[in-house]
Amino acid sequence: MNKQELIQQIRSKKSYLCTGLDTQMEKLPLCLPKTGDGLVKFNRDIIDATAEQSVAYKINTAFYEQYGKAGWEWMEETLLHLPQNTLKIADAKRGDIGNTSSMYAKAFFETLPFDAITVAPYMGEDSLRPFLEFKNKWVICLALTSNAGHADFQLGEYEGKKLYERVIETVCKWGSEENLMFVVGATRAEMVQQIRAMIPEHFLLVPGVGAQGGSLVDITKAAANTDLGLLVNSSRGILYASDKDDYAEAANSEARKLASEMALYV
């Protein structure tokens, strides 16, 4: 999915919701077995319930990798159930020397039909270059994250700038707004406006709304551009809106609630 197709989906659905499929076996509704079949059924039901509101889905690969071969198969079943008109994100946070990154890129862009992958830029350009060479694929680079430990490195000074500013500035030289996004946590809304000034045309993937305390209104006002330019992720708030038989209906209700708020800005 290229940039114009993504923008069109946002305008068509009047939503910039990214639904996160960070599914935990132990949190499945009581009506489902705590098995791979139960997990895949849950994911499919959540996808079907949120497809009208979601322009993107983000699969956190760690939640599936923990189960080994079977987990990869469940992840692939989930991925193949995603609607064609949505951006499919592998939240894998890869980043290694060039030849290793080439293998990661083939894994997620060829073997698995993801549209985008999250990456860690610590090892520099050659670690991101293999991902950027794929046409109509996206590299989503960690910049300013929403976790408590973000300040350990990201807010440190480096050549007169915060490290996250240096990361954004440097990585932008390797790609363009057509194939690069940046992860910016919703809990850092006070800094997002300054980030938007640095990169006025790039999409931002924004986790941290809902369960982590980020404000949809604040992040939208700070970071929206003329094309909206945002994907706001919600995982736990949608996935676990109910632990009963009505889990799909509850997920739909939560997705519709977020999308109705988003519609005010599209």
- Point out the residues that are catalytic: 93
CB atoms within 10 A of CB 245: 12
Q: Can you read off the two tokens belonging to residue 228?
A: 């909206």
Distance of alpha carbon 194 from alpha carbon 241, whole angstroms? 33
DSSP 22-66: ---GGGS-TTS-SSHHHHHHHHHHHHHHHTTTEEEEEEETHHHHT
Distances (CA, A) of 25 to 63, 88, 179, 204: 9, 22, 33, 29
Distance of alpha carbon 177 from alpha carbon 5, whole angstroms? 14
Residue type, position 238, single letter: I
